[in-house]
Amino acid sequence: MTAIEEKQRHTERPPDPGRPPAVLIGGSTFGTVTDQIASTVLSRKTPLFWWIVFAAGLGLLTCLLIAVWFLFYVGVGMFGIEIPNAWGFAITNFVWWIGIGHAGTLISAILLLLNQSWRNSINRFAEAMTIFAVACAGMFPILHLGRPWVFYWLIPYPNTMTIQPQFRSPLVWDIFAVSTYATVSIVFWYLGMIPDIATLRDQSKSRFAYFCYGVLALGWRGASRHWRFHETASLLLAGLATPLVLSVHTVVSFDFTISILPGWHSTIFPPYFVAGAIFSGFAMVLVLAIPLRAVYGLHNLITERHLNNCAKVMLGTGLVLAYTYAIEPFTAWYSGSPFEMFMIHNRATGPYAWSYWGVVAANVVAPQLLWFRRCRVNPKPLFAVSIVILIGMWLERYMIIISSLHRDFLPSSWSNFIATLTDNAALYGSIGLFTVLFLLFVRFLPMISMYEVKELLPFSRPDGRSVK
Amino acid sequence: MRQPTDPTFVPLAALSAHPRQWRSLEEREGVVAEDIPLQSEFSQEDRREFLRLMSASLALAGMTACTRQPTELIVPYVDPPEQTVPGHPRYYATAVPVSGIAQGVIVETHLGRPTKVEGNPDHPASLGATSVISQASVLDLYDPDRAKEITYRGDTRSWENFLLALGSMLNPLQGTGEGLHILTETVTSPCLGAQIEAVLAQFPRAQWHQWEPAGSHSVSAGARMAFGRPVNTYYRLADADAVLALDSDFLACGPAATRYARDFMDRRRRGDRLDMNRLYSVESSMTSTGGKADHRLPLRYSEIEAFAGAVARGVGVPDTATAGEAPNAQWVDAVVQDLAAHRGSSAVIPGDWQPPAVHALASRINTALGNVGKTVIHTAPVEVQPVDQLESLRDLGNALDAGSVAVLLILGGNPVYNAPADFAFARLLGQAKNTIHVASHHNETSAYCQWHVPESHVFEDWGDTRSFDGTVTILQPLIYPLYRSHSHLEVLEALVNQPARTSREILNAYWMGKKPARDFESWWRQSLHDGFIADSALPEITVAPVPSPPGAAVSAAPAGGLELSFRPDPYVHDGRYSNLGWLMELPRPMTKLAWDNAVLLSPRTAERLGFPNQQRVTIQRGGMRVDASVWIQPGHPDESATVHLGFGRSRAGSVGNNAGFNAYLLRTSSALWSAGGVQLTKTAPHYPLATTQMHQSMDDRPVAISADIEHYRQNPDFVRPLENAPERGESLYPPWAYTGYAWGMSIDLTACVGCNACVVACQAENNIPVVGKGQVLAAREMHWLRIDTYYQGDPENPAVHFQPVPCMQCENAPCELVCPVHATAHSSDGLNDMTYNRCVGTRYCSNNCPYKVRRFNFFLYQDWYTETLKLQRNPDVTVRSRGVMEKCTYCVQRIREAEIRAKVEDRAIRDGEVQTACQQACPTQAIVFGDINQRANRVAQLKAEKLNYALLAELNTRPRTTYLAELRNPNPALNTEHGG
């Protein structure tokens, strides 16, 4: 036992039931952290669980590719969309995935600025989740276009047609919001990974791995100069990413609020969407963290403390959503508009009432379990609640889109949306895509930030104590 | 709009009577390869095989058409035809006959291709408007499923082969024609009549039969009953103050409907609209006419005769004997009083499908009211030979059964499909020694005939025809026949004259005999130019009613149980148009059903029988049974069902095959229009019917605003609070300037009869694709203009409101600001222009359109591959591809054309110079379009009326399309909401 480990052992305090659970448990040292994380990539046998889920993900991904082939070859009519329900699953999926992405940025940027160092052991895979969720999300607006091959007309670029996008349209704002978000997230994620990739480079046993990680590590040597620049860059990017957490879903909500459709045309949408995004994002973090923790034995790094904190965020944002759901009928009534009032009535009693009550059950009732500490720190109920919330949030977007569109102003144009096989293939296929990307990340990149976890160890701290 | 007919127009057919054509070098050298087993497709029983071969032959259709190209025209327009300017359409007058009775039209042609049918403003059956069927006739011309070759038992033959075979068929008849039978549909063509007479003169023992499945059998029988002789009756509704429709859909159905609707609505909107006429409709199904009526009484088919009898007694018709008592005394009293108060200015119009007794009663009522000669006009029949067609067909059936038919020549028609079911015509056809069918399509009857001769389309060959008042139109060809087709005139000519003359020679010779030779040529050209022969309408005659012997004029009482009425479909008629996608997909006025017919039941009857909507049932009548789907029709009389003819065809073509069910299978000679004792039993649970409007209730929203005339008189501004329009200028954006033109439209809801002529005109003008039943079921129909039909009030007898909804061309257009790529943008004259090439298909514009008038190409809906369909397209309108949004443009191509013309002539566009396609087709002139910047323009004046309102005005979209609220004129004596 080295002197450092000895010191650490002595400074470890016995658990105190009155205090929150520790951020790290067990006698981690710099060495054990490096071994634990790097070995999952470099030396440990890929668990069977990984292979099973990866195969399932690949299967779903194949469904997606077949669906995409039909969409591009035959036409966007493969989706169940029609008039008046001109948007359907694709936009629902887009908003859902974008929302999920929000948790990663919130954890890595806002919590960094707020000095919430418990985030250090979950921020890496949460950020990866963000990027893959944004990738899934970004796919859908293109898939749902009538002519996807000219999607770039939404992007302002110098062209011989001398036509620029129509800047009053929220869809153009979306392009900026989502592409900025994707860019900042990817840069932030990669930048944050450089020291760890350098560690993998140094630990790698094969020449191929050494070469690959070497290229990706950009010549990181761990010099103090490197660390100084790295820290500054991280803080700057965190500063950049922080407003994005609020702005992206605000802009996405503009897709709806700018229109005049009852059920979309509402000023409450920006906070409502941001809260919903964080709500679903944390649910996804838990859905990923809980199995990872079990399969890779990460209980010492992802502790009850993390589960508890994530659950609290979900409870808080869930209450914001409940408030929004409650205020919507009020604003409809207060507006005096018969169209608004009909929309609320129809949402709760019409052909898509199941989606409304499903949303209430999943997003308002289910999170109430999180008032109980036992539910917050116990992985099983927490996992179940998280799954329910993810479904609920998907349903919420479906409800907003379909239950508003299917009965608008003139009764003559009303009709019902019926999802097709392609709709479902694209939805589940995007989950497959996400799964595949995420599992590849887990397999080939450090899923937990080694150097940031090490920052939590007593040796790194001025007071020589582990972070609580 | 209309340009003078080109006097130099001579069709190619006239130039080359019998060009020598060859398909291969062998054939040219005289090696006739007759025994090549090219076509055995029609002998195949297997449906899959049939479809496979049909698709293959479709693919080859272009090739076969190529063989007709005259070789000398390989380099066209080195010497261009005189007066032809590429890009400038030319207009020719002709007519479109339906069941023999024509509507005068003017056809737009682009470089020799007829593309669009417009009404002939001078023709009495049109007055510039068109019926749905006239609009679609141009699609019929280009129907890729038309018969293309003369065939004998499915094998291709030449015209010469046919003539030889015809000669050998006729030889054994030894000149007397014993055993020669000719079956036609209703013939009004004077020239064709003369031809048939010539045949009958040469073959004195030959027989001529006529059968028109949805013809005016009862009308002529009723005339015989009332007057003792065949009489043609039509109505002058412009002078009628009170109209009683006895199960008649005169506003939307029938050969004179376009004219009737115009006259009726002109009268209705006379002056300040406070002096309205009044329409009572007593009907056995829900029709447009019933929907427009001030009072509507749903009665079962069999009860209408009693009602008519009661009215007859009320107005003092002597010796009125009817079956049973009138069901509603209050109604009868009110109607009688109203009619009696308008002696000489009222009209009683019986429906074509009502029994002869009702027609006779209506004639007597009209006579008693002194309407004859004022609002009700009698003339000699328009038919060449008015016969009892049912008996005529029965005679043929008997002759066939007796085996005495040596040659049966069927000119047009489809008796195997549409003859009464008890005739078993398909079986009888086998008894004829030789059968020849001359028809445009290889249809159900052709399958049972040995010879099939393709019939030229009405736009392809010469002919003549009469309209409802007898006005004769010379039909002139607008295009060289697309296939090896022949007219009826030519086929009949082949029976009597060898070598045969062409249609034009026959027609010319006939009319030369009728008109003085002096100046014949200029008379002929004038008639062609005008689209009708001046003063050819049949003169009014006075007919004395014969007294009816008591009890003689009573129809047989119906058998008990559920009653079934047969109706021709308003669009595909008796089934002859059921291969036209435009008509199949056109939503029916009341049900909004496309692609199917259905068993229409009242809500109460459906509930009693336990049928939900779209329940699949078996209709059983005696030993006959047909599977059909139920459609619950508000306003339908109880304990009765309506089915429409014209569906369920097996050999209509790729569009019409197997759409709907064949109601002819239940229709017998004893029950042509109605049958009692029908049973409906559930079969499969659900069969989807495609409707374009799933909600026909307004949900108390002020959408189609209407009021009684009394309410309007007392409160002329009643529309304003309902419209709830915001103040002008309530917008963050500065208002548009509109310094030049500002196009606007006004739609009069009082005048709209929901006939859908505008919709199909829009489809023809703007290259709008047909999407098929599956896509209509998925709510993806493409019509730029739709007519919403709303029901209000008691489902047993609701008020009906029609509302045409084109693009509103909003000044504050919600669609424009959400398009991310500027694909829909505001023009300086206030149109929301669609740039198809720029559209990427986000469909956000549709989501944000409160009127949902935008249509999206979810797939490649337009047929880009069928050669003939390409010929129909309007070259001034983009053919849209997959993935782009489209919508009504106010026919921007017509606006720009007028702008260019006005600019060339250095003037402003005149009021009425630009007509949108919908406006032009509208029988009642409900749609008015023009520049609203000019106060004096008609559209600006209409928009200044108190009845004017904007749809969903409270959204501050400031639509350019506005409506005039509907007014009705109920009888205070019938103190009920609507219908009574």
> What is the pLDDT, as a whole number, of residue A464?
65
Dihedral sign from CA coordinates of A262, A267, A273, A279: negative
- Give the residue from A207, A196, A23, A238 showing the smallest Cα distance to A110: A238
- Closest Cβ–Cβ partner in A85, A154, A342 for B820: A154
Lowest mean pLDDT, pick from A238-242, B34-38, B738-742: B34-38
Q: Do A147 and B841 touch (CB under 8 A)?
A: yes
Q: Going by C-beta distance under 8 Å and a sequence separation of 6 or more, which residues neighbour residue B131? A: B98, B103, B257, B258, B755, B757, B923
**Under a CB-based contact definition with an 8 Å cutoff, are residues B102 and B465 in contact?**
yes
Residues 659-698 of B with CB under 8 A from A: 693-698
Residues 783-812 of B with CB under 8 A from A: 786, 788, 790, 803, 805
- Is residue B882 within 8 angstroms of chain A, CB to CB? yes
* Beta pairing, strands B150-152 & B451-454: antiparallel
Q: Do B821 and A165 touch (CB under 8 A)?
A: yes
- Is residue A86 within 8 angstroms of chain B, CB to CB? yes
Report the C-alpha gap between B253 and B754 in whole angstroms: 11
> What is the pLDDT, as a whole number, of residue A73?
93
Report the C-alpha gap between B308 and B285 in whole angstroms: 17
Gap from B819 CA to chain A (nearest CA, Å): 6
Report the C-alpha gap between B563 and B247 in whole angstroms: 15
Q: Do B696 and A83 touch (CB under 8 A)?
A: no
Q: Do B842 and A145 touch (CB under 8 A)?
A: yes
Bridge partners (DSSP) of residue B93 are B106
List chain B residues with CB under 8 Å of A336: none
List chain A residues with CB under 8 Å of B697: 411
- Is residue B944 within 8 angstroms of chain A, CB to CB? no
Q: Do A75 and B859 touch (CB under 8 A)?
A: yes
**φ, ψ for residue B747, nearest 5 deg:** -120, 125
Gap from A179 CA to chain B (nearest CA, Å): 16
**DSSP character for B295?**
E
> What is the pLDDT, as a whole number, of residue B975?
67
In tens digits, chain A (468 residues) has pLDDT values of 444 444 444 444 444 555 556 777 767 788 888 888 888 888 888 899 999 999 999 999 999 999 999 999 999 999 999 989 999 999 999 999 999 988 888 888 888 888 888 888 888 999 999 999 999 999 999 999 999 999 999 999 998 888 899 999 999 999 999 999 999 999 999 999 999 999 999 988 899 999 999 999 999 998 999 999 999 999 999 898 888 888 899 999 999 999 999 999 999 999 999 999 999 999 999 999 999 999 988 888 888 888 998 999 999 999 999 999 999 999 999 988 899 999 999 999 999 999 999 999 999 999 999 999 988 889 999 999 999 999 999 999 999 999 999 999 999 999 999 999 999 999 999 999 999 999 999 999 999 988 888 888 877 777 766 665
**Under a CB-based contact definition with an 8 Å cutoff, are residues B139 and B872 in contact?**
yes
Q: Do A146 and B817 touch (CB under 8 A)?
A: no
Q: What length does chain B have?
A: 980
Residues 92-151 of A with CB under 8 A from B: 141, 144-148, 150-151
User: B681-716 burial, b for 16+ CB within 10 Å, e for fewer?
Assistant: eeeeeebebbbbbebbebeebbbbbbbbbeebeeee
Residues 254-313 of B with CB under 8 A from A: none
Whether B66 shows a pLDDT value over 90: the answer reads no
User: B389-398 burial, b for 16+ CB within 10 Å, e for fewer?
Assistant: bbebbbebbe
Report the C-alpha gap between A371 and A389 in whole angstroms: 15
Dihedral sign from CA coordinates of B598, B604, B608, B613: positive
Tell me which amino acid residue B978 is.
Answer: H
Instruction: Name the residue in chain B with its Cα closest to that of A71.
Output: B859
Report the C-alpha gap between A386 and B298 in whole angstroms: 60
- Is residue A10 within 8 angstroms of chain B, CB to CB? no
Q: Do B859 and A74 touch (CB under 8 A)?
A: yes
A45-54 CB contacts, 8 Å cutoff, 24+ apart? A46/A443, A47/A295, A47/A296, A49/A291, A49/A295, A50/A295, A50/A439, A50/A442, A50/A443, A53/A435, A53/A439, A54/A435, A54/A436, A54/A439
First CA to last CA across chain B, in angstroms? 45
- Give the residue from B584, B586, B562 showing the smallest Cα distance to B679: B562
A134 three-class SS: helix
> If residue B161 lies in a helix (H) or strand (E), which one and from where to where?
helix B159-170
- Is residue B73 within 8 angstroms of chain A, CB to CB? no
Can you tell me which residue has the tokens 């070759």? Answer: B149
Whether B192 shows a pLDDT value over 60: the answer reads yes
Alpha helix (H) residue ranges in B369-461: 389-401, 415-418, 425-429
Q: How many CB atoms are closer than 10 A to CB B972?
A: 8
- Is residue A48 within 8 angstroms of chain B, CB to CB? no
Mutation pick from B838, B842, B854, B886 vs chain A, by most beta carbons of A within 10 Å, is B842
- Is residue A163 within 8 angstroms of chain B, CB to CB? yes
Number of cross-chain residue pairs from A and B with Cβ atoms under 8 Å apart = 163
pLDDT tens per residue across span B227-237: 888 899 999 99
Mean pLDDT of all residues in B156-185: 89
Q: How many CB atoms are closer than 10 A to CB B9?
A: 18
Cis peptide before A84 (omega within 30 of 0): yes
Report the C-alpha gap between B163 and B153 in whole angstroms: 16
Q: Do B699 and A261 touch (CB under 8 A)?
A: no
- Give the residue from B75, B77, B104 showing the smallest Cα distance to B92: B104
- Closest Cβ–Cβ partner in B819, B821, B882 for A75: B882
Whether B363 shows a pLDDT value over 80: the answer reads yes
> What is the pLDDT, as a whole number, of residue B732?
81
List chain A residues with CB under 8 Å of B778: 77, 80, 82, 418
Residues 741-780 of B with CB under 8 A from A: 775, 778-780
Q: Do A83 and B699 touch (CB under 8 A)?
A: no
Residues 27-56 of B with CB under 8 A from A: none
Whether B35 shows a pLDDT value over 60: the answer reads no
Gap from B883 CA to chain A (nearest CA, Å): 4
DSSP string, B467-501: ETT--EEEE--SS--SSS-B-HHHHHHHHH-SSPP
- Give the residue from B184, B251, B99 showing the smallest Cα distance to B573: B99
Tell me which amino acid residue B322 is.
Answer: T
Mutation pick from B847, B885, B888 vs chain A, by most beta carbons of A within 10 Å, is B847
Gap from A146 CA to chain B (nearest CA, Å): 4
- Is residue B703 within 8 angstroms of chain A, CB to CB? yes
**Under a CB-based contact definition with an 8 Å cutoff, are residues B190 and B105 in contact?**
no
Q: Do B858 and A75 touch (CB under 8 A)?
A: yes
**Under a CB-based contact definition with an 8 Å cutoff, are residues B443 and B652 in contact?**
yes
Residues 402-421 of A with CB under 8 A from B: 405, 408-416, 418
Whether B14 shows a pLDDT value over 80: the answer reads no
Gap from A261 CA to chain B (nearest CA, Å): 6
**DSSP character for B447?**
G
> If residue A359 lies in a helix (H) or strand (E), which one and from where to where?
helix A353-359
Report the C-alpha gap between B288 and B57 in whole angstroms: 41
pLDDT tens per residue across span B277-297: 999 999 999 999 999 999 999
Its pTM stands at: 0.88
The mean predicted confidence, pLDDT, of chain B is 87
Q: Do B882 and A145 touch (CB under 8 A)?
A: no
pLDDT tens per residue across span B569-614: 999 999 999 999 999 999 999 999 999 999 999 999 999 999 988 8
Can you tell me which residue has the tokens 């379909």? Answer: A402
- Closest Cβ–Cβ partner in B805, B817, B858 for A168: B817
- Is residue B724 within 8 angstroms of chain A, CB to CB? no
List chain A residues with CB under 8 Å of B858: 75-77, 81-82, 146
Vertex B921, ends B915 and B924: CA angle to 5°?
Answer: 100
What six digits make up the tokens of B545?
A: 């009613």
> What is the pLDDT, as a whole number, of residue B787?
94
Tell me which amino acid residue B133 is.
Answer: I
Dihedral sign from CA coordinates of B891, B896, B899, B904: negative
**Under a CB-based contact definition with an 8 Å cutoff, are residues B829 and B739 in contact?**
no
Instruction: Name the residue in chain B with its Cα closest to that of A339.
Output: B701
> What is the pLDDT, as a whole number, of residue B729?
75
* Beta pairing, strands B966-968 & B706-708: parallel
Q: Do B883 and A170 touch (CB under 8 A)?
A: no
